[in-house]
Amino acid sequence: MKQARGLNFAITLSVIFAAVMMILPNAVIIPASFNGENYITFPPTSLSTRWYETFLTDPVWRGATWNSLVVAVLTAMVATVLGTLAALGLMRLSVRARSLLVSLFLLPTIVPTIISAVALYGLLAQMGGRGGLLGIIIGHTIITLPFVVVNVVAALQQMDVRMEHAARSLGASPLRAFWHVTLPVIWPGIAAGAVFAFLCSFSEIVMSLFLSGAGSMTLPVQMWSGIRFEINPTVAAASSVFVVLSCAIVALMGFLRRKQGKAMKS
Amino acid sequence: MSALLRQNDRALVGASPIFEEREAGMNGPGVSTKPKMGAGITVRNLSRHYGTTKAVDDVSFSVEAGEFLTLLGSSGSGKSTTLMMIAGLVEPSAGQILIDGKDVSQLVPEKRNLGVVFQSYALFPHMNVFDNVAFPLKMRGISRAEIERRVKATLEMVELDSRRGYRVGQLSGGQQQRIALARALVFEPPVLLMDEPMGALDRRLREQLQREVKEIQQSLGITVIYVTHDQEEAMLMSDRVGIMAEGRMQQIGAPREIYEAPRTPFVAAFLGESNFLRVRQTATGWEVCPDGAANSAGSLEAMVRPEDLHLLSPGQTAALSLEGVVRYVEFPGGAMRLLTDTPAGPVEVRLHRHEAGTLREGERVTLGWSDRDMVLFGAEGRARQETAP
């Protein structure tokens, strides 16, 4: 009993520690982004929104943000379609073949991104596709595909196959059974995969560093060079926008899921 | 009880629009227009192998139009796999399935036009009651007005039209079961396949739904193939029962027939309760061989049901008799249950309360039974009906 309490205490403590470690950078960056000085300081010595102004008006930052959004949206779309199809195919295999192939699909999360990036860089350089948004989208699709596959496979495993069987027995072709029954039932899993893919692509830097060119800078690449070549508080403003946007998307996702869950139950 | 029956009568009245429509021949496009009644089904040498396991092994049977057949067996006996092969949802390794004489073995499930009620119902959670029941009609491209009319008629038949706007999750288990039934019947299939549909329901509700399903089946005249592991359910509802074990059909027949004349010791032991003894014919009649001396020449394996045994009072005789000592007496309600130790081994007895009287453990009793109530099996475990008078 006493031991259990001690263990509980230790777990609580480590969770708090981990949470603080994750939140702490934001607690520094967000106040720092409202600093009026020409360099990043904490705590801020004066309050100003001038770096947000720069972030929103400077064509370089605007371009990078736009590029990131385009890449993330297209990556999410391509990865979602491919990943969902892959998951549907995986479900038709025997349990053993499926688990084997799922681990294959997970490889991009295990292989260091830099290796995939170098490989893709070489390939794209040969084919003349380096430096464009398309290359980045291909790279990001490779990295984000596992998120979609895992989420959709999980959703499909939770679904009662008999629902699909019922649809077929009631007169639906395989395609209509998928469209009218399977898709609406596994929708939350697909959406979760898509959101993960979007967020992952939006914040990805290693692939983007290798594959972007002058005209295809993404936001993380721009932030990276912003830190390296000029310690400019615009980076702090960009990070803050980034964090808030990501949080908003995750919150929206949670909200939609809860709504969906309630609708399913009641 | 009578209130319930009256309720069911009303349910049958609710079903009448479907009949009128059938008689008027107003079936919509895409719905099979041919059968007014159920269709006959023939299953020939059907097998399904998974690697080396034979889930279903060379099963053949046929069901007449309008008949209620139950496949009864424990889990893993192959009954559900057989049903799913008829539905087209599991591909047979070998064999044929004929509906009204036509081979449908190669037909995709959506073209077989069979109603299927699944275990756990498999209702669509993202649709309300109306849309669930309307689904098969939508798939057949039937007009909106016609869908509305037919769904209403079918929901009235299962007395749930008032719940048409409800989400599936808002319904009780029994209501979900009825919706699943309505959904499988709304497109007027000639055959209804049901896979352990009552498994998740409590006993009282199950009895009520069993009666309703039976009445709906009879009023629509459709063929039903029903799968269950519940003996009582199988015996109560079916015209014929097929007993399956280890992927094979063990015996198929009317409920009383398989109960009273099981062809193998397996069927005898599987259905109801049974006592197995060895008996030998003598010049004057029958005698029971003591346990252990079983292989003595000319003895046969015999089965007698506990309720066919009686207590013999001194001086009373029966075709067969056996002395024993009561090991225990139980009263689970209904009949009294006795276990007696006899020279032929432990024997179970069911007695009416009055017949059991004040019988107690340790008392000596003489059990008697008629040779009519005894089933004999030959050396190969086959019933030897010819030796029983």
pLDDT tens profile A118-174: 999 888 888 876 778 888 999 999 999 999 999 999 999 999 989 999 999 999 999
- Order of strands across the sheet with B240-245? B115-117, B191-195, B223-228, B68-72, B240-245, B248-253
- Whether the predicted pLDDT of B16 surpasses 50: no
pLDDT tens profile B187-204: 999 999 999 998 878 888
- Order of strands across the sheet with B374-377? B286-288, B275-281, B299-304, B374-377
Per the listing, tokens 């799968």 go with B227
Angle at B90 between CA B86 and CA B91, to 5 degrees: 95
Residue B265 lies in a domain: no
Distance CA B278, CA B377 (A): 10
- In the stretch 117-176 of chain A, residues with CB closer than 8 A to chain B read 160, 162-163, 165-173, 176
Distance CA A158, CA A264 (A): 14
- Whether the predicted pLDDT of B31 surpasses 80: no
B202 or B70, higher pLDDT: B70
Residue A12 lies in a domain: no
Indicate which CATH number applies to the domain containing B170. Answer: 3.40.50.300
Would you call B164 an interface residue with chain A, using a CB distance cutoff of 8 Å? no
- In the stretch 47-106 of chain A, residues with CB closer than 8 A to chain B read none
Amino acid B20: pLDDT:
39
Residue A119 lies in a domain: yes
DSSP class of A159: S
Would you list the DSSP string of B150-184? Answer: HHHHHHHHTT-GGGTTSBGGGS-HHHHHHHHHHHH
Structural domain harbouring B298? 273-387
B232 and B281 assigned to the same domain: no
B277 and B253 assigned to the same domain: no
Residue B267 lies in a domain: no
Residues A144, A75 contacting (CB under 8 angstroms): yes
B295 and B240 assigned to the same domain: no
B340 and B379 assigned to the same domain: yes
Nearest to A162 among B120, B139, B183 (CB): B120
Q: Where are the alpha helices (DSSP H) in chain A?
A: 2-33, 50-57, 59-91, 95-105, 107-110, 113-127, 133-158, 161-169, 174-177, 183-203, 206-211, 219-229, 234-265
Nearest to B118 among A165, A173, A181 (CB): A165
Under the banding of pLDDT at 50, 70 and 90, the label for residue A260 is: low
Residue B205 lies in a domain: yes
Residues B319, B370 contacting (CB under 8 angstroms): yes
Give the pairing of strands B53-63 and B102-103.
unpaired
Nearest to B122 among A160, A176, A184 (CB): A160
Tell me how close the Cα of B136 comes to any Cα of chain A, in angstroms: 5
φ/ψ region of A107 (left if φ > 0, alpha if ψ in -120 to 50, else beta) reads: alpha
Give the pairing of strands B364-369 and B310-311.
antiparallel
Indicate yes or no: CB of A168 within 8 angstroms of CB of B89. yes
B7 and B86 assigned to the same domain: yes
Give the pairing of strands B115-117 and B191-195.
parallel
B252 and B282 assigned to the same domain: no
B256 and B311 assigned to the same domain: no
Question: Which whole number is the average pLDDT over B156-184?
Answer: 91
Tell me how close the Cα of B194 comes to any Cα of chain A, in angstroms: 12
Task: For residue B302, give both structure tokens.
Answer: 């015999």
Indicate yes or no: CB of A171 within 8 angstroms of CB of B89. no
Total domains in chain B come to 2
Residue A47 lies in a domain: no
- Whether the predicted pLDDT of B48 surpasses 70: yes
Q: From chain B, pick out residues whose CB is under 8 angstroms from the CB of A176.
A: 139
Find the closest chain A residue to B89 by CA distance.
Answer: A165
- Whether the predicted pLDDT of B9 surpasses 50: no
Amino acid at B143: S
ipTM tops 0.85: no
Would you call B108 an interface residue with chain A, using a CB distance cutoff of 8 Å? yes
Distance CA A109, CA A97 (A): 20
The two most distant CA atoms of chain B are separated, in Å, by 79
Query: B133-166 burial, b if ≥16 CB within 10 A, otherwise e?
Result: bbbbbbbbebeeebbebbbbbbbbbbbbbebbeb
Distance CA A177, CA A158 (A): 17
Would you call B88 an interface residue with chain A, using a CB distance cutoff of 8 Å? yes
Residue B235 lies in a domain: yes
For residue A3, the tally of other CB atoms under 10 A from its CB is 7
* C-alpha distance from residue B145 to each of B23, B149, B162, B186 (Å): 20, 6, 18, 14
Residue B102 lies in a domain: yes
Indicate which CATH number applies to the domain containing A64. Answer: 1.10.3720.10
Distance CA B241, CA B234 (A): 7
Would you list the DSSP string of B253-267? Answer: E-HHHHHHS-SSHHH
At residue B67, the 3 state secondary structure works out as coil
Residue B189 lies in a domain: yes
Residue B268 lies in a domain: no
B241 and B361 assigned to the same domain: no
Q: From chain A, pick out residues whose CB is under 8 angstroms from the CB of B88.
A: 168-169
Task: For residue B170, give both structure tokens.
Answer: 């808002």
For residue B226, the tally of other CB atoms under 10 A from its CB is 28
Residue A38 lies in a domain: no
Nearest to A165 among B108, B122, B136 (CB): B122
Amino acid at B296: S
Find the closest chain B residue to A265 by CA distance.
Answer: B169
Cβ pairs A/B, distance under 8 A? 78
Structural domain harbouring A175? 60-265
Residue A73 lies in a domain: yes
B361 and B320 assigned to the same domain: yes
- In the stretch 235-294 of chain B, residues with CB closer than 8 A to chain A read none
Tell me how close the Cα of A81 comes to any Cα of chain B, in angstroms: 22
B294 and B316 assigned to the same domain: yes
Q: From chain A, pick out residues whose CB is under 8 angstroms from the CB of B115.
A: 169
B238 and B279 assigned to the same domain: no
Task: For residue A68, give both structure tokens.
Answer: 């990131």
Distance CA B81, CA B89 (A): 9
Amino acid B294: pLDDT:
52
Indicate yes or no: CB of A160 within 8 angstroms of CB of B120. yes
- Whether the predicted pLDDT of B153 surpasses 90: yes
DSSP class of A1: -
Among the residue ranges A37-51, A54-68, B286-300, B336-350, the one predicted with the least confidence is B286-300
What backbone torsions phi and psi does residue B68 show, to the nearest 5 degrees?
-110, 105
Would you call B126 an interface residue with chain A, using a CB distance cutoff of 8 Å? yes
Indicate yes or no: CB of B135 within 8 angstroms of CB of A176. no
pLDDT tens profile B101-119: 999 999 999 999 999 999 8
Question: Which whole number is the average pLDDT over B366-382?
Answer: 82
Q: Where are the beta strands (DSSP E) in chain B?
A: 41-50, 53-63, 68-72, 94-99, 102-103, 115-117, 191-195, 223-228, 240-245, 248-253, 275-281, 286-288, 299-304, 310-311, 320-330, 336-342, 345-351, 364-369, 374-377
Amino acid B14: pLDDT:
39
Q: From chain B, pick out residues whose CB is under 8 angstroms from the CB of A185.
A: 124-126
Indicate yes or no: CB of B124 within 8 angstroms of CB of A167. yes
Residue A216 lies in a domain: yes
- Whether the predicted pLDDT of A237 surpasses 70: yes
Residue A32 lies in a domain: no
- Whether the predicted pLDDT of B167 surpasses 60: yes
- Whether the predicted pLDDT of A182 surpasses 60: yes
- Whether the predicted pLDDT of B82 surpasses 70: yes
Amino acid A49: pLDDT:
84
Distance of CA A199 to the CA centre of its chain: 3
Total domains in chain A come to 1
Residue A196 lies in a domain: yes
B107 and B193 assigned to the same domain: yes
Q: From chain B, pick out residues whose CB is under 8 angstroms from the CB of A173.
A: 108, 110
Indicate which CATH number applies to the domain containing B353. Answer: 2.40.50.100
